[in-house]
């Protein structure tokens, strides 16, 4: 089943969640107690006809380093950088949501 997501609505949802973390929970920053994580390889991530056999290693500090380059140079803000946002958001949700 295909899902169509309105980018403005996604931005609104993410901003509301981040506002909740910052204003309601009082977190101006979040310390992530993990760094390394596993991710299914691109070719296997969405193929549910078999279990993934190839996992890739990622590091949250690397993801943040790539993303923080956008603060200094907005031309670095390309769509592909979202692959670095996802692991950080997951870990923040796990840390703060507990």
Q: Count the alpha carbons within 13 Å of 86 in the hemisphere toward its beta carbon.
A: 9
How large is the average pLDDT for residues 74-88? 96
- pTM summary value: 0.88
- Using 50, 70 and 90 to split pLDDT, how confident is the model at 97? confident
| pLDDT of res. 98 | 62
5, pLDDT greater than 80 = yes
46 secondary structure, DSSP code: T
Spell out the alpha helix ranges (H) of 7-58: 7-19, 42-45
| pLDDT of res. 61 | 97
């Amino acid at each position: 089943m295909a899902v169509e997501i309105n980018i403005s609505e996604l931005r609104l949802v993410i901003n509301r969640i981040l506002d909740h973390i910052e204003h309601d929970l009082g977190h101006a920053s979040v310390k992530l107690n993990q760094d390394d994580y596993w991710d299914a390889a691109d070719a296997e991530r969405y193929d549910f006809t078999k279990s993934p056999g190839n996992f890739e290693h990622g590091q949250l500090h690397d993801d943040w380093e790539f993303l923080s380059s956008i603060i200094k140079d907005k031309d670095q803000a390309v769509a592909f950088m979202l692959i670095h946002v996802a692991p950080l958001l997951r870990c923040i949700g796990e840390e703060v949501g507990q």
